[in-house]
Structure 1
Amino acid sequence: MQPLDRFSGHADLYAQHRIDYPSELYDFILSLGVNRQTAWDCATGNGQVAGALAEFFDRVDATDLSETQLILAVKKPAIHYQVSLAERTPFADNTFDLITVAQALHWFDVNAFHQEVRRVAKPGAVIAEWGYSLVQLGPSKPGPELDSIMLDFYRNRVGPYWDPQRTYIDNAYATIPFPFADAQRASFTARRTWSLEQFLNYLRTWSAVRQYIHENEEDPVIGLREELKPFWGDSEREVHFPIFLRVGRI
């Protein structure tokens, strides 16, 4: 299966506007008794997760398909970046205490990735896979439910431009096998306080938006801005990202 790279072309935008994850998520993972020597963050992007793991682990290896993404990634002494496929890495057998993949599993050959996880993980290591669903804006007073505007944009305006793998996110990875011991699920919420322009720039990191722009030579976010502006106003607004997590032990 040909690996997909949907993010190199806008890595700078991705680095500025993609979310990171709440401390509660990391606390939950670490509470499982993870040895804190070595971690692998797969499909690290700009290093959002790797940067957090570097505060807890002696060494963090972080890989991504995109060299462009890694050039812009957060730099910390404990983090070692390299370009690598998720399914075939240069790491030795029995290397890692923790393996993480955030908002990327749906792009992988999952069976091959899980086979690689078993090879490079130490016995008893933890694997954590997570993603986040459609952003939630909440009601506007006076005005419509902003979430209904977003859902229309997501499903109808850019819906045809999502890759088929997007359905795995919509299903919170429920249909992707997870063949590991002691499997658990947990939910969290990432919160951001953004101006409308910050929010729109986040939307411009969506692969469907990038594909829409590529095929139509116009930015669909501009039209959405006109719909949201009367209700968002000039102030900042709290937006929520529902996070789904699954963890298991090798």
Structure 2
Amino acid sequence: MSLAGKVALVTGASSGIGRATALRLGAEGATVVVGYGIDRDSAAEVVTQIGSTKAKAIQVDTGKVVEIENLVNETVKAFGKIDLLVPCAGIMPTGPLESLTEEAFDKTFNINVKGPLFLVQKAAPHMAAGSRIILLSTTLCHASTVMPHYLAYISSKGAIEQATRVLSKDLGKKGINVNCVAPGPTTSKGFNANQTEQSLKMAASLNPNGRIGQPEEIADTILFLCQDASQWVMGQTLKVNGGMA
């Protein structure tokens, strides 16, 4: 199950699920490009933990296609190919319909939808048969307990799930597996920033395990989808939520 010889490109890799994923893939032998937006120091820590000869940090605004293209070009220049693509960068805006602005909508869809889709477009020509693409959604797309203030966020993740279905048909012909992981509430800087102590307790109470997930638990599922053992899993959205939904 070793990922030795594989090159992984992970965005949003300086924190949360992206960071846990980069470290997990690195621990399994992959060479990892740590895509990050702002936190240079945290990205450097990830590189250090993986090993400076097996990892490289590259700053990128995943809402801009020109920067996405540069990220892919720098990855290929450094390591010659891309085997595993995991776009974890994303934002979780909150607010009901009446307060939704055009600016907030555009920013959400630029980062959560446009970014991953164009990253796939730019990376795919450098990915051989047997490569893997794992996109990120949310269990909230499937849960009945949805609050109105997640409108823009869930809408963007719904688009990713539908894109997964279509991309799997397109890139599957080239031997590239495309799947999606939909985490439930997971401890991270982005998630916690939108929560109160009361909402965190409520999220934990909705889970039969009585707790919120950890980034490493999501990374474990992403690792499975990166391995040969998952070769017959294509176009799927795997809900990873401890039984919440």
Aligned residue number for residue 68 of structure 2: 86
1:64: Cα distance to partner? Answer: 2.5
The total of aligned residue pairs comes to 181
In the superposition, the TM-score normalised over structure 1's length comes to 0.49
In the superposition, the TM-score normalised over structure 2's length comes to 0.50
Q: Structure 1 pair 156/168, CA: closer, same or farther in 2 (3 Å)?
A: same
Matched, 1:182 2:175: yes
1:100: Cα distance to partner? Answer: 1.8
Amino acid of the residue matched to residue 65 of structure 1? G
Which of 101, 119, 123 in structure 2 is aligned with 1:117?
Answer: 123
User: What is the Cα-based RMSD across aligned positions, in Å?
Assistant: 4.7
1:113: Cα distance to partner? Answer: 2.2
Matched, 1:224 2:199: yes
Q: Which runs of 5+ in 2 are unaligned?
A: 61-66, 91-111, 226-232, 236-245
Deviations 1:72-102 (A, max 9, x none): 5462212221213433322346812512215
User: What is the 5 A alignment of 1:233-248?
Assistant: 237=211
Aligned residue number for residue 150 of structure 2: 159
2:7–2:82 contact (8 Å) kept in structure 1: yes
1:42–1:62 contact (8 Å) kept in structure 2: yes
Counting aligned pairs with the same residue, the percent is: 7
User: What is the 5 A alignment of 1:7-22?
Assistant: none
1:48: Cα distance to partner? Answer: 1.7
Q: Which runs of 5+ in 1 are unaligned?
A: 1-26, 136-146, 192-198, 214-218
Greater C-alpha radius of gyration:
1
Which of 16, 19, 22 in structure 2 is aligned with 1:50?
Answer: 22
Matched, 1:128 2:133: yes
Deviations 1:178-214 (A, max 9, x none): 63223546688989xxxxxxx6x837733xx85xx6x
Aligned mates of 2:32, 2:58 — CA distance in 1 = 11
Aligned residue number for residue 173 of structure 1: 164
Aligned mates of 1:86, 1:120 — CA distance in 2 = 14
1:67: Cα distance to partner? Answer: 3.4
Q: Structure 1 pair 183/76, CA: closer, same or farther in 2 (3 Å)?
A: closer
1:172: Cα distance to partner? Answer: 7.6
